[in-house]
Amino acid sequence: MTDFFEFEADFVDSLRCIPMQVRCKLDTCGIKLKLSDWNQMTTAERQALVELPCTTETEIQSYHEHIQQLILQRTGIPATKLPIESHPAWLDATVPASLQEKAQELGVTLTQQHWAGLTSLQRFALIKLSRPGHENKNFERAIAEFHLL
């Protein structure tokens, strides 16, 4: 999976920010990656994190070990581990209430039909972008990109 969202277009060429697909993999394997740590990696290392699979249990474990080692090499400090959700909200069949509330601030009502029509990565992106303290301009851009207006 190496597709990027349109709302990420301003940084994907340089990979100066962590793209959603990598953020999803990080949540899946239970690693917190700071932007400062990401920026210490080479472009090739960042690209590898985009391209490496992280779906099956074996791939998830391998991704976890790879990024753990990479962060240790670059920073000298082990990566912070995150709890791995057994059933993350982006895989749930219902729209999370917090996401629905954020969408309604834009005058958008997310229906179950909308939610069912999104990929798991699109759902992940909407959930991440709707959290307090995140750049809300990208939330609105994602809503538009996913044709939810």
The per-residue pLDDT for range 45-66, each reduced to its tens digit, is: 999 999 999 999 999 999 999 9
Sorting pLDDT into bands at 50, 70 and 90, what band is 131? confident
Residue type at position 115: W
For residue 13, what are the β-bridge partners? none
Evaluate if pTM is beyond 0.85. Answer: yes
Torsion, CA 120, CA 124, CA 130, CA 136, rounded to 10: -100
| Secondary structure element (H or E) that encloses residue 9, with its range | none
For residue 92, what are the β-bridge partners? none
Sorting pLDDT into bands at 50, 70 and 90, what band is 12? confident
Sorting pLDDT into bands at 50, 70 and 90, what band is 142? very high
Percent of the chain with pLDDT over 90: 85
For residue 31, what are the β-bridge partners? 81
Give the Cα separation of 33 and 135 in Å (integer): 18
Mean pLDDT for the chain overall: 92
Dihedral sign computed on CA atoms, order 14, 31, 60, 141: negative
CB of 141 closer than 8 Å to CB of 6? yes
Query: If 0-12 CB within 10 Å is exposed, 13-18 middle and 19+ buried, where does residue 20 land?
Result: buried
Taken as a whole, the chain contains a residue count of 149
